[in-house]
């Protein structure tokens, strides 16, 4: 068996991994690096089949490019299929708005829909002499690990979370010979989730007490729902704006992929949804607004920042990792946000909370030990050596993009 990374081995983003055994070529994930304009992985050769671990565009954003050029089936869970479709359509709109050329068009997205074969956790897909079984990766609802049984057992994790959150149950180790595992948080651990939730809710109380509004930028997919479930533990007047609204609907239509549809429904029931400009003005009178984009690059969040940025009583509460070059990163590092092409200083308070949906360093080590592989392939990380050091005694491979490795 041979593998090659088309992207996303030594960095986080634009992941794509080819796996070749005999005459078959499998592709796992094919994503973009979300920058402006996005950066793309190496061009994929002809493949027999594409497996998509989850909807986030750094894993799915280039799948239409394949489907527009080759007649390969795409294997993914139903919830991943629905959410990816939404994000891919949105990425075309963004390309249009920002004035760069997308590598695929609407016809390619339609081809992706036609080629998609949805499969549930626990089910198996035959590819030539191999069998591929889907397992939950715990990262967001529908996120999948693929267990490939050929002349050896290989597990590809995609993005991985091993701890159970309010939204989704943590992933369980799968015994394998070769483990291809993400390493986003190599060398770093997360603070305790319950403590983070407590501090987040207390901060909102503090902001509201002094008469301010808590603006919570959150990614539409996964994070928004996690935040709504946290907010349901308090008694706030919460408003929801942005694409997270549509994703909530998709999750509730696929209840078997979330930890508790009842809890998410309950959390949604406590939230008022912004549909119009009038609604947005009403939301400004509320206590909390949850909205996209999570990294402050476009979306309704910009309008709300304009409203509160000079109000020392209000606060921006970031809930996710802020990628270099994004507005969110500029806020954290320089106290400045680009609004419609103009750098404006943010005078209200801001704070970052760690609601990560990736396994931390110690969680990764425990998961790897649970899988007990002969060989560990570290991918999807820019600090992989820190994880390799913790795996002393095991064969560890840190592939570079573009090179074939025989396993």
Q: Of the two residues 56 and 330, which places its CB atom closer to Zn ion in the complex?
A: 56
Q: How far is the CB of 29 from Zn ion (least distance, A)?
A: 10
- Are 24 and 132 contacting, i.e. CB atoms less than 8 angstroms apart? no
Cis status of the peptide bond prior to 159, with omega within 30 of 0: no
Nearest distance in Å: CB 61, Zn ion: 11
Chain centroid to CA 81: 14
Q: What's the min distance (Å) between Cβ of 397 and Zn ion?
A: 22
Task: Tell me whether residue 3 or residue 83 sits nearer to Zn ion (CB atom).
Answer: 83
CB atoms within 10 A of CB 274: 24
Output the residue with the shortest Cβ distance to Zn ion. 56
Nearer residue to Zn ion within complex by CB, 65 or 321: 321
Q: Of 56 and 223, which CB lies nearer to Zn ion in the complex structure?
A: 56
Which of residues 170 and 212 has its CB atom nearest to Zn ion in the complex? 170
For residue 248, the minimal CB distance to Zn ion (Å) is: 18
For 23, 36, 97, 148, the CA distances from 124, given in Å and listed in that order, are 20, 38, 41, 9
Tokens of 85: 């479709």
φ and ψ of 378, to 5 deg: -95, 130
* R_g of the chain, CA atoms, integer Å: 21
Pick from 298, 331, 303, 297: which is nearest to 317 by CA? Answer: 331
Min. distance of Cβ 161 from Zn ion in angstroms? 9
Nearer to Zn ion, 143 or 376 (CB): 143
Q: Which residue has the tokens 């002809």?
A: 46
Q: Closer to Zn ion by CB, 138 or 299: give it.
A: 138
* Strands 288-291 and 214-217, sheet pairing: parallel
Q: How far is CA 287 from the centre of its chain?
A: 27
CA distance 109 to 26: 20
Nearer to Zn ion, 226 or 287 (CB): 226
Cα–Cα nearest to 54, from 29, 37, 72: 29
Residue 160 and residue 171 in contact, taking contact as beta carbons nearer than 8 Å? yes
Q: Which two tokens stand for residue 251?
A: 């999750």
> Minimum CB separation from Zn ion for residue 99, in Å?
27
Q: Which phi and psi (to 5°) does residue 313 adopt?
A: -80, -25
Residues of the shown chain interacting with Zn ion in the complex, contacts defined by CB under 5 A? 56, 159
Least Å distance, CB 46 to Zn ion, is 27
- Longest distance between any two alpha carbons in the chain, whole Å: 66
Compute the least distance from the CB of residue 358 to Zn ion, in Å.
8
Residue with tokens 């109380």: 205
Nearer Cβ to Zn ion (56/309): 56
What minimum distance in Å lies between the beta carbon of 54 and Zn ion?
Answer: 6
Cβ neighbours, 10 Å, residue 174 = 18
């Amino acid at each position: 068996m041979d593998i090659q990374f088309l992207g996303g081995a030594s960095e986080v983003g634009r992941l794509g991994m080819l796996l070749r055994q005999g005459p078959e070529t499998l592709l796992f994930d094919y994503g973009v690096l979300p920058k402006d304009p996005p950066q793309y992985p190496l061009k994929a050769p002809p493949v027999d089949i594409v497996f998509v671990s989850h909807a986030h565009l750094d894993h799915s954003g280039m799948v239409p490019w394949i489907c527009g050029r080759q007649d390969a089936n795409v294997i993914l869970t139903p919830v991943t299929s629905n959410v990816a479709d939404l994000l891919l359509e949105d990425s075309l709109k963004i390309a249009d708005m920002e004035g760069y050329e997308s590598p695929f068009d609407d016809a390619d997205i339609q081809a992706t829909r036609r080629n998609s074969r949805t499969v549930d956790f626990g089910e198996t897909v035959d590819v030539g002499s191999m069998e591929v079984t889907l397992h939950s990766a715990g990262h967001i609802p529908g996120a999948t690990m693929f267990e490939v049984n050929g002349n050896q057992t290989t597990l590809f994790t995609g993005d991985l979370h091993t701890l159970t959150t309010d939204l989704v149950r943590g992933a369980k180790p799968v015994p394998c010979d070769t483990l291809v595992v993400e390493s986003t948080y190599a060398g770093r651990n997360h603070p305790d989730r319950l403590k983070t939730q407590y501090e987040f809710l207390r901060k909102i109380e503090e902001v509201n007490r002094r008469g301010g509004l808590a603006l919570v930028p959150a990614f539409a997919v996964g994070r928004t729902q996690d935040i709504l479930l946290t907010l349901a533990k308090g008694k706030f007047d919460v408003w929801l704006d942005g694409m997270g609204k549509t994703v909530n609907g998709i999750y509730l239509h696929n209840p078997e992929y979330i930890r508790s549809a009842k809890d998410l429904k309950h959390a949604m029931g406590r939230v008022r949804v912004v549909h119009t400009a009038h609604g947005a003005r009403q939301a400004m009178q509320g206590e909390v607004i949850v909205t996209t984009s999570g990294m402050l690059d476009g979306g309704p969040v910009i309008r709300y920042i304009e409203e509160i940025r000079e109000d020392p009583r209000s606060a921006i509460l970031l809930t996710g990792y802020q990628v270099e070059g994004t507005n969110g990163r500029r806020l954290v590092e320089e106290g400045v946000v680009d609004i419609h092409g103009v750098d404006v200083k943010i005078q209200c308070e801001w704070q970052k909370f760690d609601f990560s949906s990736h396994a931390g360093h110690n969680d990764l080590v425990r998961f790897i030990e649970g899988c007990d592989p002969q060989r560990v392939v570290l991918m999807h990380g820019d600090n992989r050596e820190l994880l390799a050091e913790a795996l002393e005694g095991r064969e560890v491979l840190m592939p570079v993009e573009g090179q074939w490795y025989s396993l």
